[in-house]
Structure 1
Amino acid sequence: MPSLYIIKTGSTFPTFAPDNGDFEDWVRQGLGKNADLEVRVIGANTGEALPDPEACAGIVITGSHAMVTDKEPWSEAIAAWLPALIAAEVPVLGICYGHQLLAHATGGVVGYHPHGKEIGTVPVALTENAESDDLFSGLPATFTAHATHSQTVLSLPEGAVHLASNAFEPHHAFRVGKAAWGVQFHPEFDAPIMREYIQQQAEPLRRDKQNPEELVANVSDTPVAAEVLQRFADLALKGVLK
């Protein structure tokens, strides 16, 4: 039976992971538990082999502290692998780094955001396209989500469906093909994780004229954003149970 694979592209802060888990743990928790859907983790950033598309019920590509524009060999290997998944209509969800890598793999342009870092609990607004999208339809038109990123999708791939934005980040979500989504925000983050990310970057944020104390104070729960992971698991499960 095909499995849902979490493609690990990095790790959280080494001082935070021992007591709080790592990217793949947060994603796995967000996906929920279902006896009919096996979840496996592939350490792509450490050279572990990527699965064949026919073995995949779905793919979640994690965030990373790396940069897509560095074009690390392991990252470019994922980019080269993604088109076959898209062609096979395997459900794909790229989160933050994964979102940008999906865009890069399908002809989009990734680079540093011209206005710097977006971090904290931020508003996200869905486009009209989301109303008929398999992953986003039925969600509120606006919701809050956790974000932390310096790079962004500067230009969407040709033919991509634009799904979400805010005043700072024009490309918070998109879809390519029938079932490959990218989200710049972090549906797997909870409020304590978001606070930790702000606190770990407090000094660089101050240098960039951002107020980390205010950002921490404004962190809140993001239940709608978190729902995206469970919805994605449901889509993958539908394919398994066909």
Structure 2
Amino acid sequence: MTPSHAKPLLILKVGSTHPHIAEQLQDFEHWIQAGLQDPALPVTVVDPREGQALPAPAEIAGVVVTGSHSMVSDREPWSEWTAAWLREAVAADLPVLGICYGHQLLAHALGGEVNDHPQGIELGTVPVTLNATAQDDPLFAGLPEHFDAQAAHRQSVRRLPEGATLLAGNSFEPHHAFRAGPRAWGVQFHPEFGEAATRAYLSTLTGSAPDGAVRPTEIAASLLPRFARIVRG
């Protein structure tokens, strides 16, 4: 069997940013790979929207599922078979990190409910509060109880999968982070978004990015190198 450290980390590219943002800042998979802060970790990118085959969980060291402008509740065929693959990955104890759409898809795959947020969009830099359950979580342990994170979502995990551990939320979004099993996490916020990306989304979706609407989010960003260490471990 190939040693786990020699296997690649899979980035499941389930969406793309707006073309004008990608032209300036690149795309989701590039932000994630940079955020991992581990140039020696081999990374492979697969786009299931294009019909690209997903590897067997035993062939990879872990997976990060990107955000998307699609909606999980639309149940597109590529999304549904990706959800089925995620169930297999979780059952195989593969380290999984779902971001925004990936967070929602992971919840849906495991029996949770995803739908439009009743209050609309959460956009910009938002506060996140950890639950006590995060204190001994392999990914979140040691982080401050309160930190800022970048957010951009219209849909939400309305009900967590049975047995999932709720790790973080805020007054707008109670399900900002959860863990399913020992090593599968979903985060509604975007640890891969820098300030420039969040300003670009604010400008694109609202027409402006006022002073103070975007703040640094180093704590949220630290989840990516933390996840890389779990994958290497």
Decide: shared fold, TM above 0.5: yes
Secondary structure of the structure 1 residue equivalent to 2:232: helix
Structure 2: runs of 5+ lacking an equivalent: 1-5
Q: Deviations over 1:99-149 (max 9, x none)?
A: 000000000000000111101100000000000100000011110000010
Q: Deviations over 1:5-39 (max 9, x none)?
A: 0000011111121221000000000011242x211
Question: Where do residues 39-54 of structure 1 align in structure 2 (5 Å cutoff)?
Answer: 39-54=43-58
CA contact (8 A) 2:115 2:157 kept: yes
Question: What is aligned with 1:8?
Answer: 13
CA contact (8 A) 2:199 2:209 kept: no
Give the Cα–Cα distance (whole angstroms) in 1 for the partners of residues 13 and 122 of structure 2. 22
Measured after TM superposition, the shift of residue 88 of structure 1 is 1.2
Question: Where do residues 4-83 of structure 1 align in structure 2 (5 Å cutoff)?
Answer: 4-35=9-40, 37-83=41-87
Question: What is aligned with 2:215?
Answer: 220
Secondary structure of the structure 2 residue equivalent to 1:63: coil
Measured after TM superposition, the shift of residue 45 of structure 1 is 1.8
TM-score of the two chains, using structure 1 as the length reference: 0.92
Give the Cα–Cα distance (whole angstroms) in 1 for the partners of residues 145 and 48 of structure 2. 34
Give the Cα–Cα distance (whole angstroms) in 1 for the partners of residues 148 and 188 of structure 2. 13
Measured after TM superposition, the shift of residue 55 of structure 1 is 0.8
Specify the code of the residue in structure 2 equivalent to 1:116. G
Percent identical residues? 54
CA contact (8 A) 2:38 2:228 kept: no
The number of aligned residues is 228
Which among 98, 101, 104 is matched to residue 102 of structure 2?
98
TM-score of the two chains, using structure 2 as the length reference: 0.95
* Alpha carbons of structure 1 residues 23 and 213: separation in structure 2 relative to 1, 3 Å: closer
Question: Where do residues 117-128 of structure 1 align in structure 2 (5 Å cutoff)?
Answer: 117-128=121-132
Which among 125, 132, 142 is matched to residue 136 of structure 2?
132
Give the Cα–Cα distance (whole angstroms) in 1 for the partners of residues 221 and 34 of structure 2. 10
Question: What is aligned with 2:230?
Answer: 235
Specify the code of the residue in structure 1 equivalent to 2:124. G
Specify the code of the residue in structure 2 equivalent to 1:60. V
Secondary structure of the structure 1 residue equivalent to 2:61: strand
* Alignment root-mean-square deviation, CA: 1.1
* Alpha carbons of structure 1 residues 189 and 213: separation in structure 2 relative to 1, 3 Å: closer
